[in-house]
Structure 1
Amino acid sequence: MPQQPPVRRTPAPPSRPDASMSLLTNVMDHSLDDGYAEAAARRTAGGKGLPGKLRAKLGLAAALLLAALVVTLGAAQARISAPTLAKERQQLINRIESETSTADSLQKNVDGLRDSVSATQREALHKRGGDKAELVSLLAGATAVHGPGLKVVVDDAKQARTSGGGPRESSGFSDTGRVRDRDMQRVVNGLWQSGAEAISINGQRLTALSAIRAAGDAILVDNRPLVPPYTVLAVGNGKRMNTTFQDSADGQYLHVLEQNYGVRAAISVEDDIRLPAAPSLIVRTARAQQGNTGKGTS
């Protein structure tokens, strides 16, 4: 019998060391779920037909389209609301103009009434004062006057700030360089003591009932706000007033304001100064005395 050739057996491959960990091996070999893998493959296949530049252009076009849509919607909204805003603005302008016209009319009426009252007072002074009517009217500030005198101009420092913080002699004062109501009070009182017969501040005539006070950073004279520079005109013997005032305590006070706080001041003697009449005076308590009986009128 012929001998059969020996059969060679292929040796079996060696077993994997991790054969006993089949679950972990499957997870490591297939980390991406099959469904996700298929979706990624379809997306890749669909984009293969579009070059990279074309895809970029399509993205840019989409962004520009979205921006144009936003701008169009904004313009349409603005066009819709524009007539309403214009109407409201015009109504506000009309209201301001109307109120301003009303205020101007009322101010004219007030000025006319003041002139009328002042004329009536001057007439009453003439009737009751006789020969002394003119002097009484002048001293009361009820009539305009002119004559030689002194001009004192007081202004804030060049770098003046707001919110002064109380009187200069107080501990809470901060140097702002602004002229205060008390400063003007001292200047005016110093001029009265130096021989002034009539005084005005920025055209506002002072009387025995005038008050100089502050409201915030503003200085009020008889409740009327003034703005710097403050021009004080005093009718009298100008040369004598100048010497007396500058030698007085109030004149020295003004000099200290210049030296220490930067307040600006100028004093000059004038040949002719004109002061307006004061607004009407309202006397509520004083009564004219009749004769020498000492009894006042009712």
Structure 2
Amino acid sequence: MSVRHGSSEPPRSPDASMTLLTEVYRRPLDPGYAEAAQRRSSGTAPRRSVRATAVMVVLAIGLGLGATAATLALRRPTGSVLAARELLESQIGQRSAEADAMQSEITAMTDEIATLQEQLLGGEGQSVRDQIRADAVEAGVMPVAGPGLRVVLTDAPSDSPDEEDPSLRVQDVDLQVVVNGLWATGAEAIAVNGQRLTATTAIRSAGDAVLVDLVALGSPYTVDAIGDAVHMQTELARASAGQHLATLRSTFGIGVQLTSQSRLELTGSGMVTMREAQVPGAADDPEALGSGRAPQDGDVTGSARPTGRDGT
């Protein structure tokens, strides 16, 4: 390119308009990368910012502490929940202490009644005392001890803890069948998890719990029966109760264990309060009251457990 005559400008380079491309061809690597590559090839460790490293460490620690505090705050119950729990625990302790005191009072009164009976009968009422003692044992009032049979029923394990299957749990009808089967085999006294059974004892269910005289019991259920263990076990296996236990074990996976015990100790239930009922307006009509009778050996209280355990 020619320069105009008389112009003072220096001649321009032919590639003056391609400065960016020229720089790329002349220096294809960024100076910073080139310096780092040179230090790496020479064995010099790259420079690190101590301040940046310290900031990163402090930030990581802060994040960890924040996450831990948030987790603890979420898992810690609120103040109202803690107050309600403390109140409930105090009420439970108070009621338990009252129940223990009342039980001690009942025991003392029972002993006092026995002493008064002994004083009233004197030395000439031995046969009457023996009859009273025998009746008290049958009524479940007095504590008893002796050899017997122990039956332990345990809920079957569940494959899914989140989904409860009622058919895998020991139900009230199972205990009813076992208890009535033991009575039929000649058991002299029976207790379930320490709760002495009497003629007025009811075995019912309330949700997931089984109630024996309104006392909630849980698995495993230990049924202790005083009597001839060998005879009771043999007769129980022959009766429908034995078939029911076999079905629980084989079909539903419920644990069933029968063992002979050389000595069982069953507590007494205290004094029994007898009550009677009358139909309003039919006190003078015996036929309207129906023909009641005391439960006999072999009678089953409550319906038997359904074969499908589905309530049908």
TM bucket (normalised to shorter chain) is 0.5 to 0.7
Map of 1:154 onto structure 2: 153
Distance 1:232 1:92, change over 3 A: closer
Match of 1:109 among 101, 104, 107: 101
Pair 158,119 (structure 1): closer, same or farther in 2 beyond 3 Å:
same
Q: Confirm whether residue 223 of structure 1 aligns to residue 214 of structure 2.
A: yes
In the alignment, does 2:208 pair up with 1:209? no
Kindly report which structure 2 residues correspond to 1:27-66, keeping only aligned pairs within 5 A, or say none: none
Q: Which runs of 5+ in 2 are unaligned?
A: 1-76, 122-127, 278-312
3-state SS of paired residue (1:251): helix
CA distance, structure 1, for counterparts of residue 139 and residue 155 of structure 2: 31
Deviation at 1:134, TM superposition (A): 1.4
Of structures 1 and 2, the larger Rg is shown by 1
Q: How many residues align?
A: 191
Q: Render the CA deviation track for 1:77-96: whole Å, top value 9, x for unaligned.
A: xxxxxxxx998788657645
Percent identity, aligned pairs only, is 34
- The 5 Å alignment of 1:123-202 reads 129-159=128-158, 162=164, 164=166, 176-202=167-193
* Aligned CA-pair RMSD: 2.8
Q: Match of 1:220, as an amino acid?
A: L
C-alpha separation between the residues in 1 aligned to 2:157 and 2:219? Answer: 12
In the aligned structure 1, how far is the partner of 2:270 from the partner of 2:221?
19
Would the aligned equivalents of 2:149 and 2:227 in 1 still touch at CA under 8 Å?
yes
Q: TM-score, normalised by structure 2?
A: 0.55
CA distance in 2, matches of 1:145, 1:276: 7
Report if the CA contact (8 A) 1:196-1:241 is conserved.
Answer: yes
**Number of the residue aligned with 2:69:** none
Question: 2:111 aligned to 116, 119, 130, which one?
Answer: 119
Task: Give per-residue Cα distances to partners, 1:18-62, cap 9 Å, x unaligned.
Answer: xxxxxxxxxxxxxxxxxxxxxxxxxxxxxxxxxxxxxxxxxxxxx
- Cα separation, partners in 2 of 1:150 and 1:125, compared to 1, 3 Å: farther
CA–CA distance in 1 between the matches of 2:250 and 2:79?
A: 56
The alpha-carbon deviation at position 244 of structure 1 amounts to 0.6
- Alpha-carbon distance in 1 for matches of 2:133, 2:183: 20
Q: Which runs of 5+ in 1 are unaligned?
A: 1-84, 165-175, 287-298
Aligned equivalents of 1:186, 1:204: Cα separation in 2: 17
> Residues 104-130 of structure 1, C-alpha deviation per residue, up to 9 Å, x if partnerless?
332223222332454356557766843
